[in-house]
Amino acid sequence: MALAKRQPGDPSAATHTPAKKKGVSKVTYQRSSSEESTTERDRRMYRECKGMHNAGACRGYTRK
């Protein structure tokens, strides 16, 4: 299948020009007031994983 070449004066050629890409802006997340902090999560994981196997979510929390 042969592709047709665009002519310089072709009005459809303007619709196929690549759009300018905007720069990636940094996304910041706003923490919810009900979300647990990192230290609260660590304490909960140590408490919940006590005596359990060291796999999955408990990896690294069974020993201290």
5 within some domain: no
Q: What is the value of pTM for the model shown?
A: 0.46
47 within some domain: yes
How many folded domains does the chain comprise? Answer: 1
**Residues spanned by the domain of 59:** 37-64
3-state secondary structure the chain: CCCCCCCCCCHHHHHHCCCCCCCCCCCCCCCCCCCCCHHHHHHHHHHHCCCCCCCHHHCCCCCC
Query: 12: which 2 tokens?
Result: 């459809």
64 within some domain: yes
Q: Which residues contact 36 (CB under 8 A, 6 or more apart)?
A: 44
53 within some domain: yes
What average pLDDT does this structure show over 9-20? 60
pLDDT in tens, 23-45: 778 888 787 888 889 899 999 99
25 within some domain: no
